[in-house]
């Protein structure tokens, strides 16, 4: 779906879904999933997003997730030893190897270094396969060389392309499964070339929230996860409501208002720091939608909110006639059930990070040995306890939505009588300012646009 701002309203264009081959879901209750790599995993964004979605989509899934990342000057330095100490002891059944993003030297391709990497990476994959039944090789993120002159001069994108291809070759030769983050992010960059708002990196190399989401989506593809598609339908007459998942009941409150009660519907998969990236440009949108449709929505604008105008968001009636996706913005995304699950998964990831950081520290004196081991155990138990807290977090919600009709001026969102360049902003029916409006408290107030925004003849 695509949002287009108009007069403070969210305009959604429905796009046809692109069919994809659906693999069988790869994870089971007994699986222990480990994300193992370097710098890209020192921030838990990608594994956290994957686990959050899977916990919502498969609420009974008991698989365990752990993330092991480290800042390392050399891409594979000590990787085998670190795996044996931190990961192999946990007896993982699924390992996702994430190397190469932001840790391959930023200079022209060094052939001797590249050949050494090929051998070392093949040895690492072979070693990991001895401990885990399923090994996934994840290629690095495509670099945006246009963001930094130095990257463009050394043709860093071509260097990274060679490393990505080497990883594909190793995965194929060693019988590991491939997660091609490089190819997916390169395709995304080419499809959105020139749009600075849709940057997949912060500085050309370090992933942005969008870059991480491309990676999360590719991991879900590799795991064969099913998308989460929820559709709620209600009539403005208050006589009929339905939900594809959970239960919906609609009540007519007045001529200009209905109340929609949702019970047992899945919570949305919300990624923090997403910003204003809309559905059509957000890779994870193919994995979820929460569509609200009002087939007989009255003409004009409609505000959707929780009781007492909490987390209100305005829509055009045409949006609700066609179906508006509420999975990424609006009252459903601010629920405590939504933020609670993600918060506890993040806390678990941080506990695991503290545990592995402390385990890498040498014991300074023999007298500290017992206290260090006790601390190791305490951090591990803390992470396990947080896992149990995650397990009891709700995956569904019960919520009441109120839908108000908003008066619009004659002729729609633009008052033709006021001339060109005038934008109309609807008012809340109770006389309050509608969301995003900073103008008069009258029912409708035109706002003159700056000269550069005026439409041309």
pLDDT tens over the chain, length 457 residues: 333 333 333 333 333 334 445 568 999 999 999 999 988 888 888 999 999 999 999 999 999 999 998 876 567 888 999 999 889 989 999 999 999 887 787 888 889 889 999 999 999 999 999 988 899 999 999 999 988 888 999 999 999 999 999 999 999 999 999 999 999 999 999 999 888 889 999 999 999 999 999 999 999 999 999 999 999 999 999 999 999 999 999 999 988 999 999 999 999 998 877 777 877 899 999 999 999 999 999 988 899 999 988 888 899 989 999 999 988 888 888 888 888 998 999 989 888 888 877 777 788 898 988 988 898 888 889 889 999 999 999 999 999 999 999 876 655 543 333 333 333 344 444 444 444 444 333 343 444 444 544 444 4
What would you report as the CA-atom Rg of the chain, rounded to the nearest whole angstrom? 25
CA distance 451 to 447: 12
100 phi-psi bin (left φ>0, alpha ψ -120 to 50, beta other): left
Distances 360 to 35, 256, 346, 355 between C-alpha atoms, Å: 18, 63, 22, 9
Predicted confidence (pLDDT) per residue in 173-227, tens digit: 999 999 999 999 999 999 998 888 899 999 999 999 999 999 999 999 999 999 9
3-state SS class at 391: helix
Give the strand pairing for 64-68 and 32-37. Answer: parallel
Inter-residue long-range contacts of 191-197, CB under 8 Å, 24+ positions, other chains counted: 192/281, 197/276, 197/277
CB-CB contact of 264 with 398 (8 Å): yes
pLDDT for the residue 328? 83
pLDDT attached to residue 191: 92
Q: Is 1 exposed, middle or buried (0-12, 13-18, 19+ CB in 10 A)?
A: buried
User: What pLDDT was estimated at residue 436?
Assistant: 43
What angle in degrees, to the nearest 10, is found between the helix axes of 336-359 and 45-57? 130
* 3-state SS assignment for residue 241: strand
Question: Checking DSSP bridges between strand 396-406 and strand 422-425, what pairing results, if any?
Answer: unpaired
Residue burial 5-17, b: 16+ Cβ < 10 Å; e: rest: eebbbbbbeeeee
Domain ranges (residues) in the chain: 32-226, 228-406, 410-457
**pLDDT attached to residue 311:** 85
* CATH code, 32-226: 3.40.50.1110
CA distance 213 to 210: 5
Residue 401's DSSP bridge partners are 260
Q: Per the structure block, which two tokens stand in for 174?
A: 């060693």
Q: For residue 426, what pLDDT is reported?
A: 42
């Amino acid at each position: 779906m695509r949002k287009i701002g108009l007069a403070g309203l969210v305009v959604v264009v429905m796009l046809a879904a692109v069919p994809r081959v659906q693999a069988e879901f790869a994870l089971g209750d007994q699986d222990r999933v480990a994300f193992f790599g370097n710098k890209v995993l020192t921030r838990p964004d990608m594994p956290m997003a994957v686990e959050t979605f899977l916990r919502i989509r498969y609420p009974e899934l008991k698989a365990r997730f752990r993330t092991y990342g480290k800042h390392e000057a050399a891409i594979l330095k000590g990787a085998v030893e670190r795996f044996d100490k931190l990961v192999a002891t946990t007896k993982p059944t699924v390992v996702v190897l994430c190397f190469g993003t932001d840790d391959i030297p930023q200079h022209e391709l060094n052939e001797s270094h590249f050949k050494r990497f090929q051998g070392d990476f093949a040895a690492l994959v072979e070693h990991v396969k001895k401990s885990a039944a399923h090994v996934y090789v994840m290629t690095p993120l495509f670099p945006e060389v246009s963001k930094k002159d130095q990257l463009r001069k050394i043709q860093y994108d071509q260097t990274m392309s060679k490393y990505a291809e080497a990883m594909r070759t190793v995965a194929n030769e060693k019988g590991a499964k491939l997660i091609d983050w490089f190819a997916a992010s390169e395709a995304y960059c080419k499809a959105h070339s020139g749009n600075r708002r849709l940057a997949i990196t912060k500085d050309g190399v370090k992933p942005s929230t969008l870059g991480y989401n491309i990676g999360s989506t590719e991991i879900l593809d590799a795991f064969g996860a099913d998308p989460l598609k929820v559709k709620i339908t209600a009539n403005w007459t208050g006589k009929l409501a339905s939900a594809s998942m959970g239960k919906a009941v609609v009540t007519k409150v007045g001529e200009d208002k209905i109340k929609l009660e949702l019970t047992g519907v899945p919570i949305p998969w919300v990624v923090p720091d997403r910003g204003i990236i809309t559905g059509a440009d957000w890779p994870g949108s193919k994995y979820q939608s929460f569509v609200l449709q009002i087939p007989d929505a009255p003409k004009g604008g409609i505000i959707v909110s929780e009781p007492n105008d909490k987390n209100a968001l305005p829509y055009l009636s045409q949006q609700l006639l066609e179906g508006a996706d509420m999975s990424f913005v609006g009252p459903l995304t601010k629920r405590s059930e939504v933020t609670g699950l993600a918060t506890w998964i993040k806390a678990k990831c941080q506990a695991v990070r503290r545990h592995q950081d402390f385990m890498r520290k040498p014991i300074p004196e023999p007298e500290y040995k017992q206290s260090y081991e006790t601390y190791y155990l305490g951090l591990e138990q803390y992470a396990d306890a947080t896992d149990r807290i995650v397990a009891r977090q709700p995956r569904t919600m019960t919520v009441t939505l109120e839908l108000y009709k908003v008066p619009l001026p004659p002729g729609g969102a633009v008052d033709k009588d006021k001339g060109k360049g005038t934008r109309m902003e609807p008012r809340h029916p109770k006389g309050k300012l509608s969301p995003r409006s900073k103008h008069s408290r009258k029912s409708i107030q035109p706002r003159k646009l700056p000269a550069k925004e005026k439409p041309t003849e």
